[in-house]
Amino acid sequence: MKKIISVLILACVSAPPACAEPGTPSGTGESGMTACVYEYKGEVGVFEPGGRDWDTLKSAVQLKEGTRLRTGNGAWCRILAGDGTFINLYENSETVVETLKLSKDSRDYGFNFVKGRILWMAAKLKNVRSRFSIRTPSAVCAVRGTDFFIGVSSAATEIGLFEGQLDVQNGEKNAQLSAGNEAVAAPGSDVTVNAYFSRTMKAEQRRYLRLKKYTEDLRQKLAARDGFIDEFVKGQQEKLQEFENRRRDKLNRRKE
């Protein structure tokens, strides 16, 4: 039987979204959209809850509990939640949205990260009940507003912590990660903690730093306009529909 490794984030240094009142999730509208695929490139597959097969992503879409996302070679997608949480799913990766709930006084997110590479930039919320968990084949991460990378392969789960602290628990054994530490958790074995990043994790840290300003700008947009995610998804889907209508009209004229 595989050992389950609990990863608990004890402290965090991420700032709340600029212009937002601390502890108040913003960006969700009357339709109740909690998160969406905000941006993507290349072949991204989406398996909707209750669906029968994978569909190719053609526009920004609302995420629901049970939605699966996967990326192909050279592809990626970015998830934005109403509390300012930002997730970057890299190529050849797959994740499942298991729980996705957000209100003014609570947050409950649960993801099953199946394979690949993913960057998590969880928004820090004050005075809000928060439950944010990530499962991998060999680790369980409980998140409270911090920035870190997870890489999952058939051999192990790698975790690089960029901000905050992590308590890594494996049975009765405990290990603590500080910013700049890296942990490797293999099924059926102990957690190895290094006080420095490997060459591979340093590369992930550089990618993270490039995305940090981008994420801060998104959080400002969320804070400035209530219903930002709802409006964005609706606008993107309307553009897609207009494109499809023009394409269909063009084909009909050719037939005439």
DSSP 8-state class, residue 61: E
Q: How far is residue 205's CA from residue 68's CA, in Å, rounded to a whole number?
A: 26
Q: Could you identify the residue written with the tokens 């997730």?
A: 87
Judge whether 1 lies within some domain: no
In a domain, 130, yes or no: yes
Count structural domains, the chain: 1
Q: Does residue 60 belong to any structural domain of this protein? A: yes
DSSP symbol at 2: P
Residue 224 forms part of a structural domain: yes
Q: Is there a domain that residue 247 lies in?
A: yes
Domain that holds residue 73: 6-255
For 66, counting Cβ atoms within 10 Å of its Cβ (0-12 exposed, 13-18 middle, 19+ buried), the class is middle
CATH number, domain with residue 228 = 2.60.120.1440
16 pLDDT band, cuts 50/70/90, is very low
**pTM for this model (two decimals):** 0.84
> 101-146: per-residue pLDDT in tens?
999 899 999 999 999 999 999 998 888 898 888 888 877 776 766 8
Rounded Cα distance, 170 and 6, in Å: 6
For 241, half-sphere exposure in the C-beta direction (CA atoms, 13 angstrom radius) is 6
Predicted confidence band of residue 206 (pLDDT cuts 50, 70, 90): very high
User: What would the pLDDT profile of 39-91 be if each residue is shown by its tens digit?
Assistant: 999 999 999 999 999 999 999 999 999 999 999 999 999 999 999 999 999 99
Computed over every residue of the chain, the mean pLDDT equals 83
Question: Is residue 166 domain-resident?
Answer: yes
